[in-house]
Structure 1
Amino acid sequence: MSDQEEFEVEAIGVEVNVQPIELYKVLKIANVVNGGGEAKHMISEGYVGVNGELEQRKRRKMYDGDVIEFNEEYYVVICDTPVGELPEIEEKPQFIPIEPEYTEPKPKKAKKEKKKKQKSEIPTTIDPESGRRSINFF
């Protein structure tokens, strides 16, 4: 027998639209973690295996056919697009702003004069020792 044992397992397919894709993203797409932070934590703590080996690199590149083991479940990466190609995206018409023709500026309204706040009728006193004014709360 060879030093690598092959065995057959039932795996859940995780369809992705681009390859390579990072390991933590595959766990998010498979919906086995609540978010990217949790996925990265699980990977770095050693709870994830890839192709039969323990994997602790969060951004390990995954390709079509790679098998991931997590929480006693197996997942296989499925991708139809070739390596490095981005999936075809329908091109949307781009919005190009058109400058309006020159128009006369609108006349500005006259500004109202602001009334200056009148200081309280009680004169403020200056403390001769510190040179500070007294504080009136009411």
Structure 2
Amino acid sequence: MNTLDWSTNELAITGLLLFFAIAFLQSGIDKCLDFKGNLAWLKGHFKDSPLASMVPLLLAVLTLTELVAGLFSAVGAVSELFLDLEGWSYWAGLFNILALLMLFFGQRLAKDYEGAKTIAIYMVPAILLLYILP
């Protein structure tokens, strides 16, 4: 790919990747910087759900998944525009969807239907990203 000849598709993919890089890196870094605060809030959020006893483990898994999704998205965005490295955008898309499904599942089990609705909105661009990838 010539870096001066970006297609509309490459720019759309890059925009979606940057969207998820920002969302997941911010969320994952926040969870790392305030793990105890997030854990305390989530323990209360899930106290009446089947996940109550697993919150610390699930928070660690979610944090790692979000960081991977965000990192892959950032590398994928740079790759789309400048490097033409195969696979980063695809793997970013898969990890984005995985992270969103984890969040959606948790919100549904916690009976936080408004929160689940918000996660569902994020799923639209995540699926679109995989759909428009070459």
Structure-2-length-normalised TM-score: 0.24
The structure whose residues are more often strand, as a share, is 1
The structure whose residues are more often helix, as a share, is 2
Max Rg structure: 1
Structure-1-length-normalised TM-score: 0.24
Of structures 1 and 2, the one with the larger relative CO (CA 8 A, separation 6+) is 2
